[in-house]
Amino acid sequence: MAKWMSVAQVKEKIKESSAEEVTASYLEVIGKSKINGYVTVSDKALEQAKKIDEEGHRGPLAGVPIAIKDNISVVGLPNSCGSKILEGYVPPFNAHVIEKLLAAGAVVLGKTNMDEFAMGSSTETSHFGPTANPWDLERVPGGSSGGSAAVVAAGEAPFALGSDTGGSVRCPAAFCGVVGFKPTYGAVSRYGVVAYANSLEQVGPLANNVEDTAVLMDVIGGYDRRDSTSIDSKTEYQKALVDDVKGLKIGVPQEFFGEGIHPDVEKAVWDAIHKCESLGATWEEVSMPNIKYALASYYIIAMSEASSNLARFDGTRYGFRENAENWHAMVSKTRAEGFGAEVKRRILLGTYALSAGYHDKYYLKALKVRTLVKQDFDKALSKVDLLMAPTMPNPAFKIGEKIEDPLTLYLSDVNTCPINLAGVPSISVPCGFTDGLPIGLQIMGKPFDESTVLRAAYTFEQNTDYHTKRPPEVA
């Protein structure tokens, strides 16, 4: 069986054989994995697939396997968020996106590795050890949805769900040479997704191609009354898959091609822009002067929200507990033992930024910068239909290379996090290679104009072959 199949091919295969057989073949590939992409492989996947076979393949994804990031709640599967502190916690409820997937007939293969509580860009901060990049096993897959991107790139799942708070879907997509999509804030319900920074994050697909991304979006998108920030945009994602960019105006923000960008990345992205031009689009440079403050603003807001979100992990009700003589000591010990260094760093920094005397200087200022960044996007996108830029300024780095230097690691989010501050949709699609490592093109659009973003990505993909390349090491 072909290891890398599109969703359409998987569905064809299910028709020819059975959902059970297809699921079994993926489980077999997972069994031989060299990348540590899955934290938990579901022991119910085969049973689930069999049931779908028995019930006659109903639903748009009947029998199609999927991998789920380990911060999205699935009944019966541990939801560890890459942390020791959630040891033994199995959610009694499904996330909204999981309900939708199960209703569509999808089969959950398992939960994928991630940076602890989605805090990282390399999947190295996971309690379950790092995930390897299928293109070079010594390199990181990006993060925080590194497991989801890597298993798709390695053919261990046809597609996957990740979550994107500051680039956590797009960064690993770029590093692993797959498609990663962050929808507009509110387009997908966050119910059941463990919060890192509520005001920034969205669930998003990781897939082998743009079409599969749209297929998945049609299933998971839409209004959910349990998420007050969700919005019914009524977007029909697959309808956006038109191979035509004629007349589209592309903006190229210089601020995304800053200091330290790898020349091959810069060239690949410009080649992509010129490719779109050759297909009938036009491009112009746009200025987004406040982008340079985005990273600082992003980290202050994300850490502040995280410091509050993670307060519930106190050992009292579920998860890991380190016993002590009284409750306060128990909480201290549990959190000291249960959280990793990066999570602790962010909780401390976030707590500091919200503290009396610093709140206005840091948190409030960060919110003001956020408004300015949003205005930059509004202004730029009033003149053009789309923005194009590199997803990551550099290709995947070596495991261990940056982990001791948090600031350098934070800097790798420089091109992805402004999008989360603005809440706009953004996709990363493969657009080239440097020394055998994939490069990602980032296409950003107007709020709830996913259709134009997907249309441009689809057209680019239809006219290039980067998305068909497979990592040799895991082949």
Backbone angles phi, psi at 353, to 5 degrees: -65, -25
CB of 99 to other proteins, least distance (A): 13
Annotation says 144 is catalytic: yes
Q: Does residue 348 touch other proteins according to CB under 8 A?
A: no
| Residue (89 or 377) nearer to other proteins, CB | 89
Stretch that binds other proteins, among 10-18, 215-223, 311-319, 374-382 (CB under 8 A): 311-319
d(CA 425, CA 318): 35
Quick note: the x/- pattern for other proteins over 62-81, rule CB under 8 A, is: ---------xxx-----x-x
Q: Does residue 336 touch other proteins according to CB under 8 A?
A: no
Check if the beta carbon of residue 177 is closer than 8 Å to that of residue 474.
no
Q: How are beta strands 437-445 and 426-434 bridged, if at all?
A: antiparallel
Stated as kind and residue range, the H or E segment containing 27 is helix 19-31
Check if the beta carbon of residue 56 is closer than 8 Å to that of residue 30.
no
CB of 38 to other proteins, least distance (A): 20
Q: Does residue 360 touch other proteins according to CB under 8 A?
A: no
Concatenated DSSP letters for 148-211? HHHHHHTTS-SEEEEEESSSTTHHHHHHHTSEEEEPPTTSB--TTBPPSSTTT-EEEEEESSHH
| Residue (25 or 189) nearer to other proteins, CB | 189
| Residue (176 or 306) nearer to other proteins, CB | 306
Q: Which of 132, 183, 181, 129 has the alpha carbon at shortest distance from 153? A: 132
Q: Does residue 229 touch other proteins according to CB under 8 A?
A: yes
Q: Which residues contact 55 (CB under 8 A, 6 or more apart)?
A: none
Amino acid at site 462: Q
For other proteins, the binding residue among 278, 316, 463, 468 (CB under 8 A) is 316
Quick note: the x/- pattern for other proteins over 373-412, rule CB under 8 A, is: ----------------------------------------
Q: Which of 149, 82, 157 has the alpha carbon at shortest distance from 115? A: 82
End-to-end, the C-alpha distance of the chain in Å comes to 12
For other proteins, the binding residue among 9, 17, 238, 351 (CB under 8 A) is 351
d(CA 203, CA 160): 11
| Residue (102 or 137) nearer to other proteins, CB | 102
Annotation says 69 is catalytic: yes
| Residue (257 or 318) nearer to other proteins, CB | 318
Annotation says 168 is catalytic: yes
Structure tokens at 416: 């992805």
> Which burial class, exposed, middle or buried, applies to 420 when counting CB atoms under 10 A from its CB (0-12, 13-18, 19+)?
buried
For other proteins, the binding residue among 82, 91, 172, 471 (CB under 8 A) is 91
For other proteins, the binding residue among 116, 305, 342, 376 (CB under 8 A) is 305
Structure tokens at 468: 């068909």
For other proteins, the binding residue among 93, 368, 378, 398 (CB under 8 A) is 93
Residues with a catalytic annotation lie at: 69, 144, 168
Interacting residues toward other proteins by CB under 8 A = 71-73, 79, 81, 86, 89, 91-93, 95, 190-195, 197-199, 225-229, 304-305, 307-308, 310-314, 316-318, 327-328, 331, 351, 354-356, 359, 363
